[in-house]
Each structure stands twice: as structure tokens, then as C-alpha cells.
Amino acid sequence: MDPGGSSGHRDISEIAPELRRTLLAWWEVHGRKDIAIKPWMFTVDGRWPEQHEDLSPYGIWIAEVMRCSVAKIFSLISKGGFPP
């Protein structure tokens, strides 16, 4: 990795714990904490994660992309625009 950042990539591992705490604190106040809406944001045993618990950022990202993609397809179908 280029420590100068000229490649456009940066190692965020040092700030990851603080970022996780900050995001979970924001979600605690503003997030949709409904397991029926966003089950991937909960722990395996169905609890909202504590600030010290890890969730899979990759898994959450994939779930969000899939949810948005499915919503877009349903929108197109309801408008008669899918399949083309």
C-alpha cells in the first residue's frame, strides 16, 4: 500500500474501531432497528449489536446492494419496463 495515498487507497484499520462505535451509536439513535426490515444488521442470535461486537461489513454491503437491486427490479416490473 502506498503510505502517501497517491494510489487513492488508504489503510483505515487504525480508525476502524472508532468508526464502528460511531456508526453503531448513530444507528442506535437514527437507524431502522427492525429485524424484519434489515435482518443483516443484527447478530446471529437476533440482537442489536453492542458497540464492541463485530458485524461483517462485506455481508451488510452485499445485503444492501441486493435489497436495492430487487427494489429497482420490482419498480420496473410494476411500470411495465422489465424485462425490456
Distance between CA atoms of residues 57 and 71, nearest Å = 21
Distance (Å, whole) CA 16 – CA 57: 11
Domain ranges, ordered by start, for the chain: 16-78
Conformational region of residue 5, where left means phi above 0, alpha means psi within -120 to 50, and beta covers everything else: left
pTM above threshold 0.75: no
How many whole angstroms separate alpha carbon 32 and alpha carbon 60?
14
SS3 content of the chain, % helix, strand, coil (to 5): 50, 0, 50
Query: pLDDT per residue over 4-59, tens digit each?
Result: 555 677 888 888 888 878 887 887 788 777 888 888 888 888 888 876 777 777 88
